[in-house]
A and B are shown apart, each in its own frame.
Chain A
Amino acid sequence: MLGYYPGCTVRAHQNENFEKEALAILKVLGISVEELSEWECCGAIYPLTNDEYVPLLSSVRALKRTEEEKKEGLLTLCSACYHVLKRVNHRMNNDKEAKRRVENYLDDKYEGTTKVLHLIEVLRDQVGYKKIKEHVASSLEGEKIATYYGCLFLRPEKEMELLDAENPGVMEEIVKALGAEPVIYPYRTDCCGAYHASDKEEVSNGASLKIVMSAKKAGATQLVTACPLCKHNLEHCQKDLQDEQKLPVHFITAPIYEALGAEKKADEQPLAN
């Protein structure tokens, strides 16, 4: 049983179906998850300063709770939550001073046994591409799917240790397993402009449009990502384009959900939680 950490952005944007699709897929593929009995926002961004400890606290609480509830790992869907929880975990296990101070604040100990997992990682390591392929009910043949990784999922490479940050391939493998064609284009690991969506829109729109145009030029019929903020930026930057020029942006779960026929299968049995 994996502990499940929804994160506040995914929870708040239920209409985007990221959570619904992810839980349905996991159910179909036989991975059981249970939401942590209590969790708070991880802080959305990892603090790079060495002398601030308070921004680490909420993540440590989630890591600790996973330990207490004896879960086999802590699953996240959002790349940002994954990034923050994983780096905080890394810091707690490698920086004695941070650990001491955090435990002092919390007046509690964290053993450091929790493993932070991303949905994509679970699909790769615990399910496997072969099994995904076996579960495909309607192949996505003919779709050309461009995968977008963004920053937080990949970097810093030596702490995230999930993928080759310069040339990742997991989402492409998943797309292939679904019967679609993965589209490789130059900017799939470049930044979308991130939080500048809220203060310097011209920066995030510019960075995102470059990515979208590059994917389109490479022949993509849709763009997929695992980050709610990337998805927002990649969609928002296209607001002035004509409808027929727009490249649809989805969560990576959408094509999987579709290919597995997860809606129908999930209906037969109610989802966890």
Chain B
Amino acid sequence: MRFPTKTASIKEQQELADIIQKNVKDCYQCLKCSAGCPLTEHMDYYPHQVMLLAKMDLYEKIFNSKTLWVCASCLACSSRCPRDLEPAKVMEGLRTMIIRKRGEGNVEVVNPKGVPRQALISSMRKLRR
């Protein structure tokens, strides 16, 4: 008889690590990512807080937060992170976990008219399946 050796949260940790090949535990909470993020006013958790939640295996909190869907993948955080953790990539990994396993992405394209197709294609790729 085989017993599962991994808890649910370890499974999520593993899933995230598989998708992005990064270890969020390497984050030392310097806040450089959040300090330069242009969109924090629309976020409920700041980027460094998302890192902290992931470090603490509090995935449900992340999955229910707005932040993942507000991040515009501008890579300012990734360019600046002294630990090379690429927080934008972490965000993408977490979004991908939701999109793949937990059903739909949670955004609608509301304004397709007159928007460059670059935006439509990008938002489809980033936020939906």
Residues of A whose CB lies within 8 Å of any CB of B are 8-9, 12-13, 41, 43-45, 47-51, 55, 78, 80, 151-152, 154-158, 165, 189-191, 193-204, 206-207, 210, 228-229, 232
Contacts and interface: CB of A to CB of B under 8 A. Distances in A.
B72 interface: yes
Contact of B78 (A152, A156, A197, A201): A156
A48 B76 contact: no
Nearest to A47: B125
A112 B108 CA distance: 38
B111 A199 contact: yes
Contact of A41 (B76, B109, B121): B121
Interface string B94-129: 001000000000011111100111111111011100
A151 B92 CA distance: 16
B76 A232 contact: no
Q: Do most interface residues of chain B lie in helix, strand or loop, or is the interface mixed?
A: helix
B41 interface: yes
Contact of A203 (B39, B93, B120): B39
Contact of B79 (A9, A155, A199): A155
Contacts of B72: 151, 191, 193-196, 203-204, 207
B42 A44 contact: no
B70 interface: yes
B33 to A, nearest CB: 13
B38 interface: yes
Contacts of B19: 49-51
A141 to B, nearest CB: 33
Given A48-B86, A48-B92, A190-B76, A195 B119 contact: yes
B111 A155 contact: no
B30 interface: no
A195 B124 CA distance: 9
A191 B111 contact: no
Contacts of B117: 8-9, 12, 44
B88 interface: yes
B74 interface: yes
A13 B118 CA distance: 11
Chain A CB count within 10 A is highest, among B70, B110, B117, for: B117
Contact of B119 (A51, A55, A232): A232
Nearest to B96: A49
B88 A229 contact: no
Given A44-B121, A50-B19, A200-B107, A155 B115 contact: no
Contacts of A190: 38, 74, 76
Given A48-B92, A199-B123, A229-B119, A191 B39 contact: yes
B122 A195 contact: yes
